[in-house]
Amino acid sequence: MPSATAPIAVFDSGVGGLTVVSALRRALPSENIVYLGDTARVPYGGKTRVTIERYSEEIVRMLVDDGAKMVVVACNTASALALGRLRQVFPVPIEGVIAPGVEAALAATRTGHVVVMGTKATIGSRAYDEALRAARPDIRVTGIACPLLVPLIEEGMLEDEVTDAVLRRYLAGLRASDADTLVLGCTHYPLLAPAIARAAGPGITLVDSAANCARVVGGHLEDSGLRNGGPSGGLHVCFTDPPDRFLGVAGGVLGLETGSVEVKKVPPLGQ
């Protein structure tokens, strides 16, 4: 059994999962956190279930071998398509971001009409639809696949007329509907929250699962006796490909001191 001082490991396909790291740092300041962004293979959203499961299993195996006491899958695509497999394979607690996002959406909606924006893989999996309807059968769910957003975010185009135009195109039908809740179904998307809010229009509540995910992680650690009660924890950031200038942009938006960054190679399965 790992010790309470062992790190929580967080992974995503790129820099977007730092939104979850930011929420974890606020909610659990004593915890040590290791973040791995799979920048060599980003984006995950257009890849098959088999590929996403393989990528995710390779990453989690490395993180667990390095001593992680818990793993947070800070990627909606991997949470939708690989979480079940990961929980079967690995002995440590593994938490995704979909269930916390669903809980927050159900608490926010008043009309009972929830819109989910995400990658093609996340929307195609219907993971949000099924989880929302399992909790509330009368809920109405509209999914919007937004494949251009992650590349725009990774290029640092957070306040750009091209990004605004893409968002207006994707969310054009939202203003004419009775939907009142918009789930940011990709951990990159909170970095675009101001632009998304403009495109969505007034009266729409944006739901980011990061804060709820941090609360769930804290509960897991308490229940398993793994909560770190020590001084302020550290953050170690790793990527599978050297990060570009956008790491600094994302860190600034989120108020994260990422420090020096390590580039790590993920061993293929079977090695």
Catalytic residue IDs: 75, 186
Helix/strand/coil (H, E, C) string of 49-85?
HHHHHHHHHHHHHHHHHCCCCEEEECCHHHHHHHHHH
Paired residues of 12 in beta bridges = 37
Strand ranges in 109-180 using DSSP code E only, listed in sequence order: 113-118, 140-145
Gap between the Cα atoms of 5 and 227, Å rounded: 8
Gap between the Cα atoms of 156 and 111, Å rounded: 34
Q: How far is CA 108 from CA 85, 96, 102, 179, 202, in A?
A: 30, 20, 10, 11, 15
Residue 160 DSSP label: -
Q: From the DSSP assignment, how many helices (H) and strands (E) are in the chain? A: 11, 10
Gap between the Cα atoms of 59 and 134, Å rounded: 30
Dihedral, CA of residue 130, residue 221, residue 28 and residue 250, to nearest 10:
-50
